[in-house]
Structure 1
Amino acid sequence: MHIWVDADACPGVIKDILFRASARTGRSLTLVANQYLRVPASAHVRMIQVPGGFDEADKYIAAHVQAGDLVITADIPLAADVVARDAHALSPKGELFGKENIRELLDMRNFMDTLRNTGVDTGGPAPFSAADRQAFANRLDRLLQSSARG
């Protein structure tokens, strides 16, 4: 299981959890972003800088993800692409995207996008919290353990 990170908007605390998980498990970890990001010196961690532009990191990840890989992203359309390729998608808040929920989440995202485009103020996402960090760490551990067993 290779771990891919849609890193442009990924919270730093989540990247730190991923760096530690990669060091602990020896899993390959690739951060993909439009800007250069510092990563720890490790044979397992690398950073790919893609050109600036809309969804360039998402396109790179979607083109390189393999079945069984794990992608960390809050982007629902990218998560849908990942799930369609039989890979796992996990949000930085610990929500696992899968075949059973991705269609509904994508439909809701598109509906909210339509509302925003017509001028409706839909608010934004809730701020990232300590509970989100813990939910992410717990879900990541379960995914890594199940991958190691299976």
Structure 2
Amino acid sequence: MTAPILYVDADACPVKAEALRVAERHGVSVRIVSNGGIRPSPHPLVQTVIVPEGPDAADDWIAERIGPGDVCVTGDIPLAKRCLDAGAQALRHDGEAFTPSNIGHALAMRELMADLRSAAPLAAGGGGRPFAKADRSRFLEALDRALRKARG
């Protein structure tokens, strides 16, 4: 079995530093994927990948490369589905794991919220709740579990 790779969908990711810290503890290579605006990491385990501007360019780059045993950190539900379909694990920034049993519900809720926003854009409200310290802690624990599982 090949060593797992940790892919980080880095645009708007609040846990890049935490992901690197856990990956370093496990000796896992990291791909930080973004369409720009981030400083490349000098860390030897990290490859910073800057993709062209455009919708889903980072998602496509990750989805084309991720495979069984790998882990992806993303808030993007369609990308998480693509990762699961490839046999990888996917985690939200708050540590919640996307799984085959919950990804359908997550996609349906995403579509419902998009429909509500388009039907009443002024009444739809702003994003979700703010990212909290407890979310960061849950993420660290969840990523540690995911990488232990990936390493077998």
Corresponding residue SS for 1:62: helix
2:146 corresponds to which of 126, 143, 148: 143
Correspondence 1:10 to 2:13: yes
Aligned residues of 1:2 and 1:70 also touching (Cα < 8 A): yes
* RMSD over aligned Cα atoms: 1.3
Q: Contact 2:22 / 2:140 at 8 angstroms: preserved in 1?
A: no
Contact 1:22–1:45 (Cα < 8 Å) also in 2: no
Letter of the structure 2 residue corresponding to residue 48 of structure 1: V
Identity of aligned residues (%): 40
Taking the aligned partners of 1:57 and 1:86, their CA distance within structure 2 comes to 19
Amino acid of the residue matched to residue 131 of structure 1?
A: A
DSSP 3-state at the match of 2:106: helix
Residue pair 2:9, 2:74 contacting (<8 A) in 1 also: yes
Structure 2 unaligned spans of 5+: none
Query: Which residue matches 2:131?
Result: 128
In 1, the alpha carbon distance for the partners of 2:150 and 2:23 equals 13
Unaligned runs of 5+ in 1: none
Q: What does residue 58 of structure 1 align with?
A: 59
CA distance, structure 2, for counterparts of residue 82 and residue 71 of structure 1: 7
- State the structure with bigger RCO (CA 8 A, min sep 6), 1 or 2: 2
Taking structure 1 as the reference length, what is the TM-score of the superposition? 0.92
- Tell me the number of residue pairs that the alignment of Structure 1 and Structure 2 aligns: 147
